[in-house]
Amino acid sequence: MKDHVSSRHEPARCAARLPARLAFVVQLSGASATDKRTLSGRIEHVLSGEGASFTGGPELLATLDRLLSSVDPSGHAP
């Protein structure tokens, strides 16, 4: 399988596949960096700024699901 490397000419095509309304930032806590068995931190929706802390993989996924369901198609929290 060939590795995909982005080029300067792909931003428009990438933006169409990766809409900003679905962009999130996940910041892991220091504990996650030192202990690979620990997953905790914060997730934030880029456009709306709505976010929440999480502890554990299941909570991260549940938080992501909740944030996705609270964002309207324009990308803003209701």
Residues 22 and 65: their CA atoms lie apart, in Å, by: 11
| 46 three-class SS | coil
Per-residue pLDDT of 20-78, as tens digits, reads 888 999 998 887 667 667 789 999 999 889 999 999 999 999 999 999 888 776 655 55
Q: 41 vs 8, 33, 58, 75, CA distance in Å?
A: 32, 10, 13, 23
Q: What is the pTM of this model?
A: 0.66
The domains of the chain are located at 26-70
**Which of these, 63, 74, 60, lies nearest to 21 by C-alpha position?**
74
Q: Which two tokens stand for residue 70?
A: 């609270």
